[in-house]
Structure 1
């Protein structure tokens, strides 16, 4: 038996609850993982509150992130006792996830936990930090360097934004942090932001080309925020887009791309190939201030995730929820 958050939809009625299930209920997979820690991400919050059609197979265990130990393996790359980290691949949507004490997953989805990370620390990073690192890697491949000018991070108090600010500052970049939280200035400066900007100035339609301000942008918002950010990037700069907190639309023009040579990189964290995943996790182990993660982490128990999901969607939380699935 194992404890889990279980989502059900029957006869049009939705239910989310903490329950216990027998191991035989676990879905197919070639690696059985004893989950130590998971996280509560924006996508998990949407699923738990039934605010968006995230779940496509019922019943469902949410939890797009997990870290723990291999209990059983039929995959050649893993043996019992291996510490692993997991995120993506439609887990929490079409395959049972990691807001549970056990998860049966495909070995091709797993990454061995890099040295220097504990399972809890890996989940303090989670999909948010992994996505932030993918954004940084994209900017580096484009040629963005710390001496090239300021980098704007939108949605800077969220999970991705917070870790993006930390990573960029640790790597020597000058970071400007965009937030809608009036009291977040001190928090963002602790993470490494040199400048804190008010979200409102980006939240509505603007000119197709605006004053050149940023060498690059990491955007978690989409919509008008992304459009305005693109319009402010310097000639030859780059934007890494990884979120849609403001909206899925992009009310922009081609002007920044054809007149300033700005590049727009789409960052996919769900189906990124193993080589890129491994590179991101190795870089996180090397470049992230592990101790500094505690500035952005709130630890909760498995059952707490049902209520805390609402806090995420209502903007009442900053940083990361780490879930100890064994309490």
Structure 2
């Protein structure tokens, strides 16, 4: 294995906790770092997190709240409101509010956005980002298409910051993991992630495709479900 692919395990985390965080939590931290890099501080206003009950979204909500940001969590599942509030969301935004075809520019609402959805949701998020705000885009759960105009970028100075977790340089990866060790509140990992046995993955795959999974699942190799 190439040495540059590897990151030392922070002393705070067990291997199970590291797998619970996984690419999702690490990507959420990269998104937070992108917002900070572009000057989006807690005093600038509310941060929108799309796909908030998923893996990236759950960790993004928790990390932002821990840093003092006010978080609006967008989800299509109203039943997850309590879960998201416990992670630190200040309010819940129904996903349908971001799914309708929007105007080139909407009402200025967000100081920043962490988006793992793409498609029309990302387009509407950009159109409603405040002057000088930043949208960190890291996913395509909805679509790879991006049906928007240049209006948010040339009239409001909005930055669309792409976040890549695969080819990110080793130094930045280590910073992200060190910050996860320092900034994730106690109990958050256990709240977001649940361990499942290997023989449960077929059923789990159906839930994943149906979009009904909350947070993260860690598959424990060598264990079986209790019958």
TM-score by length of 2: 0.96
SS at structure 2 position matched to 1:184 = helix
Q: What SS class does the counterpart of residue 240 from structure 1 fall into?
A: strand
Going by fraction, where is helix more abundant, 1 or 2? Answer: 2
Q: What is the CA distance between 1:310 and its match in structure 2?
A: 1.7
- Contact 1:237/1:261 (CA < 8 Å) preserved in 2? yes
Q: Secondary structure at the match of 2:196?
A: strand
Note the alpha carbon deviations across 1:29-58, whole angstroms, 9 max, x for none.
xxxxxxxxxxxxxxxxxxxxxxxxxxxxxx
Distance in 2 of aligned mates of 1:303 and 1:284: 30
Structure 1 residue 253 corresponds to structure 2 residue 138 = no
CA-based RMSD: 1.0
- The 8 Å contact of residues 121 and 290 in structure 1, kept in 2 or not, is answered as no
SS at structure 1 position matched to 2:194: strand
Q: Is the 8 A contact 1:157 1:188 kept in 2?
A: yes
Aligned residues: 223
Deviation (angstroms), 1:215: 0.3
Residue 192 of structure 2 is aligned to residue 306 of structure 1? no
Structure 1 residues 1-327: aligned runs within 5 Å: 105-327=1-223
**Residues in 1 aligned to 2:4 and 2:38: alpha-carbon distance in whole angstroms:** 29
Deviations 1:148-168 (A, max 9, x none): 100000000000000000000
Shift of 1:296: 1.3
TM-score (ref. length: structure 1): 0.67
- Structure 1's unaligned 5+ residue stretches are 1-104
Name the SS for the 1:133 alignment partner: helix
Shift of 1:107: 2.5
CA deviation after TM superposition for structure 1 residue 290, in Å = 3.9
Q: CA deviation at 1:264?
A: 0.3
- In the alignment, the residues of structure 2 paired with residue 106 and residue 193 of structure 1 have an alpha-carbon distance, to the nearest angstrom, of 39
- Between Structure 1 and Structure 2, the one with more strand by share is 1
How far the C-alpha of 1:197 sits from its partner, in A, is 0.7
Q: Report the Cα distance in structure 2 between the residues aligned to 1:216 and 1:188, rounded to whole angstroms.
A: 18
C-alpha distance in structure 1 between counterparts of 2:15 and 2:162, whole Å: 28
**Deviation at 1:140?**
0.5
Q: 1:323 Cα shift?
A: 1.6
